[in-house]
Amino acid sequence: MLLRNSLRALAATGLVLGAFTVSAGSASAAGKDAWLTNGEFGLFCFQNQNESVFDLYSSDSNFIDDYFGGSKSCYNQITNDQTESYWNLDTYEWSVHTDWNGGGSDGYLAAGYKGNASFTFKNTISSAYYVN
């Protein structure tokens, strides 16, 4: 994890200039700041990557204490079990899980993948992990 974060810190300095921002916040590949930037994995409260975003820079085993950011209708709502779409702007594959701590059903999203959650994952995602 330390090596991964060190490499990401180096990469982030070059990626911030080309960052895609979704909503208000600070443009940095830091995660959980309501900006989806290169090097992050974003979960959205509505389909087609609409409304508020929850952006991850590193794995999160439990979304119960995480909230959607930005200024859209899902602002400040708990992320747990409220995700309808995602966008992987990371260079790593990510896995999403329907239970905390990587439990339940799991799905894998390749680097660059953007799409809506399937029936299995729509409004049931509770944790996510980067896969190296």
Is residue 56 a contact partner of residue 31, using CB atoms and an 8 Å limit? yes
Average pLDDT (20-48) is: 76
CATH number at 105 reads: 2.60.20.10
pLDDT confidence of residue 31 = 82
Return the H-helix or E-strand segment holding 12. Answer: helix 2-15
pLDDT confidence of residue 104 = 98
Please state the length of the chain.
132
Which domain covers residue 16, as residue numbers?
2-73+82-131
The pTM for the full model equals: 0.77
Is residue 104 a contact partner of residue 76, using CB atoms and an 8 Å limit? no
pLDDT tens per residue across span 36-89: 999 999 999 999 999 999 999 999 999 999 999 987 889 999 999 999 999 999
Q: Mark residue 102 as left, alpha or beta (left: phi above 0; alpha: psi -120 to 50; beta: remaining).
A: left
Rounded-to-integer distance, Cα 95 and Cα 109, Å: 6
Q: Mark residue 59 as left, alpha or beta (left: phi above 0; alpha: psi -120 to 50; beta: remaining).
A: beta
3-state secondary structure of 69: strand
* 23 vs 48, more confident: 48
Average pLDDT (92-120) is: 98
Q: How many domains does the chain have?
A: 1
